[in-house]
Structure 1
Amino acid sequence: MFKKLRFIISLCFCLLFIQVLSAHAFTYPDRVFFHKPQVKVKKAKYVILLIGDGMGYWHVDALRRYLNVSKTNMESLRYFGYMTTFMRNSTGEGGLSGEYWDDPNELGSYDPALGGRTPWEIQPVPAYVDEGATDSAAAGSALASGHKTVKYALNVVPKPEGYPADEPFTVKYYPTIVDFAEAKGMATGVVTSVPFSHATPAAFIAKTQYRKNYGEIARQMIFSNLDVIMGAGHPYYDDNGNLREEPNFYYWSRNKGPYIDDEDGEALYEKVVNGVRGRVFVDKKEDFEDLADGDGLFHGGPMPRRVFGLAQVANTLQASRNIDDGDPSDDWKVGGQAFITNVPSLETMTRAALEVLEQDEDGFFVMIEGGAIDWASHANNMTRMLEEIIDFDNAVKAVIDWVNDPNNGSNWDNTLVVVVADHETGHLQPLNVTGDEVIKEQCWGLNCEGWHHHTNSLVPIYAQGVCARALKAKYDGDIKDNTQIFKVMYQAIERGCYELRIPE
């Protein structure tokens, strides 16, 4: 009887203690231990993918050292990881003879024991990564569609016997993240510092068997539902931003694939200038700046909802320039050679694109490419590479500022930002200097003999926002693949991600 009474008394004390704790938690809400955790699904209304073409881990390290800062803008994003970039049939050089279709079901690979479990594990970067490198078309397709494809091809579905280049064939294609975003009513756009019809921007909308079918790619992009297209490739201007004597429609008309006739590039250009698909055509620097200034107006009137922005330059915004400024002694420095004054920066184009796209109530997807990082790295030109990656990192800052702006509806609970490379270019080696010494001590390739091509190195991932945690490297050797970038973006748009949060 006594034991039973003691049990009842103990039980009453326990119940009373629980009540006191509950009341305590209610009275002192900062004691979150007593609050019930909440599980919330967050979906992305805005997805922004930034691609540093050719930007390896040591490129970002060189940028940080050159600027002599603790973190670059891209490194300030919450999550960091790294990924493989290999493609299908990655051993052949390819061409129009048909080799690039050979063995399309043979996947490339990356061996961490030979290349490193992290981008920095093996120094100097080993010769192993010289084998099996992707190209931007296959790499861009993997990022855009989540599927590996073959060299030079844009979103092509492989088949065991391949697609011979010397006879007619029917090609099947993968849908891209742009297709899925548009199906949900989202606005879409692509922005690049190289020709708008080049491989990486093309990968997000175009479907064709060869990346140099520029006429076909231009046609597909122009007649697509893209709300924003911005880049270089102006037929009336040269690499220094000067008017040509005769226009060059190479990026608008030339096709190299079999059974595809060259487009009439001039006719396509005229359609763009005249607002085909409802896009307002801009090519003057001040027009880009007016779009980007954030006042919600364009030339004093309403902002256009669709834009085709074509910078007044041929191949790249700045990387291909060769301007005689009268003082060649400092041309080796960043900005030592005069910049072209009549073209916008990638940062300005990024701000302009965001201002246009944010008008869509259903949100948007946009891909922003620092394409000429790759061009400068092919040349093993550290000065030009730093100029390009600085502009790209400033574009990343523009995106971060946009997400943090309280006036446009975006925040880190409804936005996904991912910064990646499609591959590494140049086999850049680590440096232990800062400032201008980074340029003077540049070292490309083993023993600094210079490598001018793509490599199979791991490349960095920087991400923040909805579903971004999935891209984090949780331990050394937690290597992602480039196809996972698409999967995370798709997940963020379609289903969202669970987030466990203890209320404050």
Structure 2
Amino acid sequence: MSFCKSSLKRAAVSLALSGSVLFCTLTPGAAMAKGTKGLAAPDKPLAKNIILMISDGCGYNQLDAASLYQYGETGTQVYESFPFQFGMSTYSIAGEYDPAYIWSSFNNVKNAPTDSAAAATAMSTGVKTYDAAIGVDNDRNSLMHIAEKAEELGKATGVITTVEFSHATPAGFVAHNPSRNDYEGIANEMLKNSATDVIMGAGHPYFTDNNTPRVPSAGNFNYVGGQNTWEGLIAGDLGVADADGDGIADPWTVVQTRDEFVDLMTGSTPNRVVGVPQVATTLQQARSGDQYAAPYVVDLNQNVPTLAEMTRGALNVLDNDKDGFFLMVEGGAIDWAGHANQSGRVIEEEIDFNRSVEAVCEWVEQNSNWGETLLIVTGDHETGYLTGSGSGIVDVKPVWTDLVNNGAGNLPGMQWNSGDHTNSLIPLFAKGDAARIFKSYADQNDPVRGKYIDNTEVAKLLFEIIE
């Protein structure tokens, strides 16, 4: 990777964007330059590196369920000691979050939830949009992603996930598409037209959810851009964007096996990496066996990287750029387990995500510092309406009970109340000098969760502090 690509990359990306993307009249970055909310004092902290970690579908109780299983107590995750902690509202353009309404009846939180596409777009661009929208506003105009802003500044960028790389959340930080369901079109934009340096996620056309090969004639190429795109990617002759701004197309290096992902964690790296583990839809959650068993009763797929291994590999590629980087890391299958009310697998997936956060913290402390790096850990919405047992309408009144601590290594007492997303507040944790700007955004109050921000304010802060 080029060690100083800022001027070339900035010019190339700006030219490409002006010719191919219709932006809204005012991006979040431009709005702040005009003195809107959030404009900081002259000594405002800036961030060279930005890492945004999204536990898809995770609310307060999903986090606690994993902690109770791991440690037999809550409050023990590394990010739970971060200095800045708030709630976050997640509704899309058609909704709102009214604390008085939400807490007045047990089922009110089920009304007007967002989907992952609109939520990712809000966190990436600072603009509310409709469900299913990827990087476009309510009128289907393309918006500037924070990753595109990072590219303009000469930084490296990456997105990684435990589900298909063209799925809603990673797509919502790279692509522009009116429908999240256009996986083939989204994958082609990500691979051929974006300046992204690292893309990792499932969707392998020739493997099942059990990490077993399909016969070649049964390949499913939907999530990788179609058969021609996949074959061009493997052959190394896929038409791709000029990622470093030197006027020459930058080919992808493809990694697939767990050993290849592990090798990427140390030593020298390729310039650009696409990592497609040898599974169809998720690293682990969709594997066969008793899908409602306790955590780890069903053997994990073995020749598949963990999210922590993918994260370490991505960081080793991106930190070659002395201008810094933006990285989005998603634990995507936490949401899938929530939809299916799979208590054991939601805990497995959340633990996998938590270990990736630990890997990031280790990287910051060994290779950077909290003065130049901002880490945000949050979700995009809650899925499954997880509570303690016995929650519901009791004697005409709403009752929410706590999860029951059954000790480390045992499933906590827990109850699913939905198979869909909810409009709950979710937790947000942040560390790094630039994270203190969140205090100026946390100007709303919930009677249960306390101070909270809106998901659009994640992007607004990032556009404000990126340098």
TM-score of the two chains, using structure 2 as the length reference: 0.80
The equivalent residue for 1:411 is 369
Instruction: Give 1:143 shift.
Output: 0.5
- Please say which structure displays the higher CA radius of gyration: 1
Query: Structure 2, unaligned stretches of length 5 or more?
Result: 1-41, 239-249, 388-401
Instruction: Give 1:334 shift.
Output: 1.4
Query: What amino acid is aligned across from residue 235 of structure 1 in structure 2?
Result: P
The equivalent residue for 2:198 is 228
2:265 aligned with 1:306 = no
Give the one of 84, 88, 93 matched to 2:89.
84
- In the alignment, is the contact (CA less than 8 A) between 2:292 and 2:345 conserved in 1? no
2:282 aligned with 1:282 = no
Instruction: Give 1:489 shift.
Output: 1.3
How many Å separate the matches in 2 of 1:239 and 1:190?
21
Query: What amino acid is aligned across from residue 75 of structure 1 in structure 2?
Result: E
- In the alignment, is the contact (CA less than 8 A) between 2:117 and 2:134 conserved in 1? yes
- In the alignment, is the contact (CA less than 8 A) between 2:69 and 2:412 conserved in 1? no
Query: What amino acid is aligned across from residue 468 of structure 1 in structure 2?
Result: A
How many Å separate the matches in 1 of 2:296 and 2:410?
15
How many Å separate the matches in 1 of 2:285 and 2:435?
32
How many Å separate the matches in 2 of 1:291 and 1:65?
33
Alignment of 1:200-215 (within 5 A): 200-215=169-184
Query: What amino acid is aligned across from residue 77 of structure 1 in structure 2?
Result: F
Classify 1:386/1:358 alpha carbon distance in 2 versus 1 (closer, same or farther; 3 Å). Answer: same
Query: What amino acid is aligned across from residue 71 of structure 1 in structure 2?
Result: T
The equivalent residue for 2:23 is none
Instruction: Give 1:210 shift.
Output: 0.5
The equivalent residue for 1:45 is 48
Q: How many pairs align?
A: 390
The percent identity for this pair of structures is 43
How many Å separate the matches in 2 of 1:442 and 1:316?
24
How many Å separate the matches in 1 of 2:359 and 2:407?
24
How many Å separate the matches in 1 of 2:101 and 2:61?
18
The equivalent residue for 1:15 is none
How many Å separate the matches in 1 of 2:169 and 2:232?
23
The equivalent residue for 1:262 is none
How many Å separate the matches in 2 of 1:342 and 1:142?
35
SS in 2 for 1:71: coil
SS in 1 for 2:54: strand
Alignment of 1:321-336 (within 5 A): 321-323=287-289, 332-336=293-297
The equivalent residue for 2:347 is 386
2:429 aligned with 1:462 = yes
SS in 2 for 1:236: coil
SS in 2 for 1:467: helix
SS in 1 for 2:264: helix
How many Å separate the matches in 2 of 1:52 and 1:285?
22
Alignment of 1:289-438 (within 5 A): 289-292=262-265, 294=266, 296-297=267-268, 303-323=269-289, 332-405=293-366, 408=367, 410-429=368-387, 430-435=402-407
- In the alignment, is the contact (CA less than 8 A) between 1:331 and 1:337 conserved in 2? no
Query: Structure 1, unaligned stretches of length 5 or more?
Result: 1-38, 90-107, 117-121, 160-170, 254-264, 298-302, 446-450, 495-504
Instruction: Give 1:155 shift.
Output: 2.0
2:223 aligned with 1:251 = yes
Query: What amino acid is aligned across from residue 301 of structure 2 in structure 1?
Result: I
Instruction: Give 1:331 shift.
Output: 7.3
Classify 1:287/1:354 alpha carbon distance in 2 versus 1 (closer, same or farther; 3 Å). Answer: same
Instruction: Give 1:491 shift.
Output: 1.4
The equivalent residue for 1:237 is 207
- In the alignment, is the contact (CA less than 8 A) between 2:50 and 2:375 conserved in 1? yes
The equivalent residue for 2:108 is 128
SS in 2 for 1:478: strand
CA deviation string 1:82-109 (max 9, x = no partner)? 11100112xxxxxxxxxxxxxxxxxx11
Instruction: Give 1:41 shift.
Output: 4.2
SS in 1 for 2:123: helix
The equivalent residue for 1:194 is 163
- In the alignment, is the contact (CA less than 8 A) between 1:137 and 1:199 conserved in 2? yes
TM-score of the two chains, using structure 1 as the length reference: 0.74
Alignment of 1:12-31 (within 5 A): none
How many Å separate the matches in 1 of 2:66 and 2:328?
22
